[in-house]
Structure 1
Amino acid sequence: MASRVTQYRSVAPASVEQRGAVRHPVSVSRGSVRRHGTEPTDALLHDISIFGCRIQADLGAERGERLWLRFPGGMPVGATVVWADQGFTGCRFDAPIDRAAVRALALPAY
């Protein structure tokens, strides 16, 4: 049976961060992004992990939309828009990318 003391105890706030891996700032920031049926658009890559990235581009993409991303020296990567806000877009890759590719793009401090 619960007492008044246990019934109203404080609970720590939930963590908002739900990523599966740490995002790393990038040293190479140029890339391109293409929506289905459109020409590639230049994009700035802000951070990346093996599971996803954050880009800045004039896309107008909406949550759930499919994109193709191309990073310097790499093959196109399929991704899904998880969120979009004020020119920034958070993407989840269709399949995790190679850790070596993340290391090649990430700042040397990481």
Structure 2
Amino acid sequence: MSAGAQLTVTDMRRAARHPVEHAVTAEHRSLGEVPLNIVNVSPQGFMISGDLGLERGERLVMRLPVIGRIEAHMIWAHEGRAGFQFERIVRIDDFQKMVDTMQPNPRLRPKR
């Protein structure tokens, strides 16, 4: 039996992703602090570049702009990239403010 996460948020990987370049330090239960480079984000999750050496379902906790502390579970990893799903869906107004903070280029921000 797998000890991975039992995810409850509906799989919404087709949701619009917004390109960002945002460095954040996450916490892992056994690795401690883990540096992440978030390269795109949606209200349901995010993608990072770089190999973490984590297994599918493992959990990270981080603090993101506007939304604060949030937990995420690794959904997939492939060739130096990994996708994470937030433990809760981020409210759209908070998400837009977060992207504005994470993406300084206004041309790449979500259309409103």
TM-score above 0.5, yes or no: yes
Cα deviation for residue 81 of structure 1 reads: 0.6
Cα 1:35–1:82 change in 2 (3 A) is same
Cα deviation for residue 23 of structure 1 reads: 0.5
Matching residue of 1:42: 35
Cα deviation for residue 49 of structure 1 reads: 0.8
Q: Which runs of 5+ in 2 are unaligned?
A: 1-11
Matching residue of 1:81: 74
Stretch of structure 1 that moved more, 71-80 or 95-104: 71-80
Aligned pairs for 1:1-110 within 5 A: 19-26=13-20, 28-71=21-64, 75-97=68-90, 98-99=94-95, 100-106=97-103, 107-109=105-107, 110=109
Moved over 4 A (4+): none
Mapped partners of 1:56, 1:70: distance in 2: 18
Q: Is the 8 A contact 1:60 1:87 kept in 2?
A: no
1:76 alignment partner, SS class: strand
Bigger Rg, which one: 1
Mapped partners of 1:41, 1:80: distance in 2: 14
Cα deviation for residue 93 of structure 1 reads: 0.2
Mapped partners of 2:34, 2:49: distance in 1: 11
Pairwise CA RMSD: 2.2
TM-score (norm 2): 0.68
Cα deviation for residue 63 of structure 1 reads: 1.1
Aligned residues: 92
